[in-house]
Amino acid sequence: MVFPFNDITDFNISLRPEHELFRKSVRKFAEDILEPLVPEIERSGEIPEIVFDKAREAGLFGVGVPEEYGGQGEDIISYVILKEELARVCPAFSALIGANHLFMIPVLLFGNEEQKRKYIPPVARGEKFAAHANTEPCCGSDIAGIQTTATLEGNKYIINGRKIFITNAGKADYFFVTARTSPPKEGKRWWGITAFIVEKSFPGVKIGSKFDVIGLNGEHPYEVILDNAEVPIENVLNTPYKNVRDPVNEGFKIALITYDRSRIGIAAQGVGIAEAVLEKALKYSLERHTFGQPIISYQGISFKIADMLINLQAARLLTYWAATLAIQDREEYILAASLAKTLATEVAEKSALYAIKIHGGLGVDKEVGIERYLRDAVITTIYEGTNDIQRLTIIRQLLKRLK
């Protein structure tokens, strides 16, 4: 029995030799360019411009984006590999790449051809940055509860509201923004939300305070203030419903579909963190001696490392499997993505804590650089749908298959 899936062949991962070649190239970038700069990034909270220059040269901003829109090809597996390998060295830079994709995914899926041609290529080439502005002081996972409003005046919308914890907002030129254009219908809280493409240069768009969060140094989130922001009517994204012609008020589904796809990248980020701390814990446990023998010879250490490896491989398999289902555009990928995001990020958090304990006092020394992975891992369990929300999604998808 393979319930809630249909067939044993559903549990398939599609990888090609080209994927391994790409993985090696990203690892080389991460180790040669990023890794030497990590101490500086941690101290300054900024990613040096040379990282962006080298990433542009390597085409890393366009991974997973169709070539016709300036990308390297529409391959979700390659995007997962990219996120994993970058997070292994610098989760903050991995998050920045992810923020760009959180803008590009809805535009690629629901934008018209003019919108795609205008906004996707500069982001895919790394010439412009983008962000996804949905979370508000009142609500994050509860998208239907957003309070930002958009009122049509002539040929433009006037948007008022405040978005918070917006990754990449400090650098972003473009934003995906959700706003309420109508009150919800009875029994349909989600109705009345519209999705917009907003440029930072539009009148009334302001970048507010930076949030000093505990992790992802180098990519701290900001607030985005929309104070009578003027957005042209042509910047409304299309409806995802085939039987609905008017794109206005139907944007809730756009946000949900975006997160269904993007959370696979967060799972990959968790896998990268788990890989990093396993490697560091294993290396230290072989080098560190007490009472005349390496500490890996003690069960208290070796069992932790064994558990880290078990959990890492399980998380990686789930993540690559979810990506494979997404490539096939199978409905089951929604369930698989939530499974992968929940497991991989919790594995990252637990493995980082194990690595700290294995390192002892050095584990909490910022100069050693182990504790930063725990700070980064905690955030992955929260953003793009907390893991409790993922569990709700899992149950809903499970019950759906029982009908």
| 265 and 214 in a common domain | no
* Structural domain boundaries, residue 347: 254-400
Asked if 180 and 115 sit in the same domain, the reply is no
Residue 1 in any domain: the answer is: no
Let me know whether 217 and 307 are in one domain: no
Query: pLDDT for 273-313, tens place per residue?
Result: 999 999 999 999 999 999 999 999 999 999 999 999 999 99
CB 41 within 8 A of CB 92: yes
Mean pLDDT of the chain, nearest integer: 94
Q: What is the CATH number of the domain that holds 346?
A: 1.20.140.10
Are 381 and 344 in a shared domain?
A: yes
Question: Judging by DSSP bridges, how do beta strands 130-133 and 149-153 pair with one another?
Answer: unpaired
Residue 261 and residue 188 in one domain: no
CATH of the domain at 220: 2.40.110.10
Q: Which two tokens stand for residue 278?
A: 């396993």
Give the CATH number, domain containing residue 98: 1.10.540.10
pLDDT value at position 10? 84
Q: Is residue 275 part of a domain?
A: yes
Helical segments of 3-162, H only: 17-29, 38-44, 49-58, 76-89, 91-110, 113-124
**356: in domain:** yes
Q: What is the pLDDT of residue 272?
A: 98
252-287 helix and 333-359 helix, angle to the nearest 10 degrees: 30
The residues annotated as belonging to the active site are 384
Q: Could you give the CA distance from residue 52 to residue 218 in angstroms, rounded to a whole number?
A: 12
Mean pLDDT calculated for residue range 7-22: 91
Task: List, for residues 65-85, the tens digit of each pLDDT value.
Answer: 999 999 998 899 999 999 999
Positive or negative: CA dihedral 178, 184, 187, 189: positive
pLDDT score recorded for residue 245: 64
Instruction: Using the 3D structure, point to which of 191, 223, 251 is the last residue of a domain.
Output: 251
* 172-185 per-position pLDDT tens digit: 999 999 999 999 98
Do 111 and 164 belong to one domain? no
Q: What is the pLDDT of residue 244?
A: 58
Provide mean pLDDT across the span 89-106: 96
Examine the domain organization and report whether 300 and 355 are in the same domain: yes
Do 316 and 206 have their domain in common? no
Beta strands 130-133 and 174-180, pairing class: parallel
Residue after which a domain boundary falls, among 251, 281, 307: 251
Kindly state whether residues 275 and 383 are assigned to the same domain. Answer: yes
Q: Is residue 2 part of a domain?
A: no
For residue 382, which of 272, 263, 217 has the smallest C-alpha distance?
A: 263
Phi-psi region of 59 (alpha: psi -120 to 50; beta: other; left: phi over 0): left
Give me the mean pLDDT over the 124-144 stretch: 93
For residue 162, give both structure tokens: 């405040």
For residue 37, the SS3 value is helix
Distance CA 84, CA 94 (A): 8
Residue where one domain finishes, among candidates 251, 269, 298: 251
Report the pLDDT value the prediction gives residue 187, as an integer from 0 to 100.
84
pLDDT reading at 1 higher than 60: no
Backbone angles phi, psi at 201, to 5 degrees: -80, -10
3 within domain boundaries: no
**pLDDT tens per residue across span 203-255:** 999 999 999 999 999 999 999 999 999 999 999 998 766 655 668 898 999 99
Supply the pLDDT for residue 401. 83
